[in-house]
Structure 1
Amino acid sequence: MSTAFTVRDVPDDIARAIKIRAAEAGQSLQGYLLGLILREASKPSLAEMAARAERYASDQVDHADVIAALDEGRRGR
């Protein structure tokens, strides 16, 4: 089942910009906005990211581990 959304009070300049972007992408306004909504909904929220970080966090990391990780990252540039 799908749900319809209505967005009210969109400023004219914003509506115009979105319509132009949809046209440039070769999409209908509905298709373009649906794509934006799908992309946004597929990203984790800040709360989800914090929970994930909490799960991966370890109190067994010391300063030498952090320095080694930084050095490795710098070598990869």
Structure 2
Amino acid sequence: MSVQITIRGVSEEVRDQLRVRAASRGQSMQQYLRGELTRLVAKPTVHEWLANVRTRKRLSKNRVTTESILQARDADRK
């Protein structure tokens, strides 16, 4: 089920730029904005991404120490 969203207080410059971007894709502004909103929510926020990384790290049995990283880095320098 779709719903309507109203955004107030958008400057004319922003509206005009959105209209230009939509036209360059051969879309109405409504089609363009719908696609952009869909694309926006498909990506996790920084907080969601970081929480996911922390969860995977916590669940992982592999632990890499700073010392082992530095040893591996310096291995070919000798």
Shift of 1:47: 2.1
CA distance in 1, matches of 2:14, 2:24: 15
**Rg larger in 1 or in 2?**
2
Shift of 1:55: 1.5
CA distance in 2, matches of 1:27, 1:49: 31
How many residue pairs match? The answer is 70
State whether structure 2 residue 63 is matched by structure 1 residue 60.
Answer: yes
CA distance in 2, matches of 1:67, 1:30: 55
1:26-41 correspondence runs (5 A)? 26-41=26-41
Runs of at least 5 residues in structure 1 that lack an aligned partner in the other structure? 71-77
Q: Kindly report structure 1 stretches of 4+ aligned residues shifted beyond 6 Å.
A: none
Runs of at least 5 residues in structure 2 that lack an aligned partner in the other structure? 74-78
CA distance in 2, matches of 1:67, 1:36: 45
Q: Any idea what the Cα deviations from partners look like across 1:8-52, whole Å, max 9, x if unmatched?
A: 111011100000110001001100000110000101012211111
CA distance in 1, matches of 2:11, 2:63: 52
What value does the CA root-mean-square deviation take over the aligned residues?
Answer: 2.3
Report the TM-score, using the length of structure 2 for normalisation: 0.76
Report the TM-score, using the length of structure 1 for normalisation: 0.77
1:24 maps to what in 2? 24
Provide closer, same or farther for how the CA distance between residues 33 and 9 of structure 1 changes in structure 2, counting only shifts above 3 A.
same
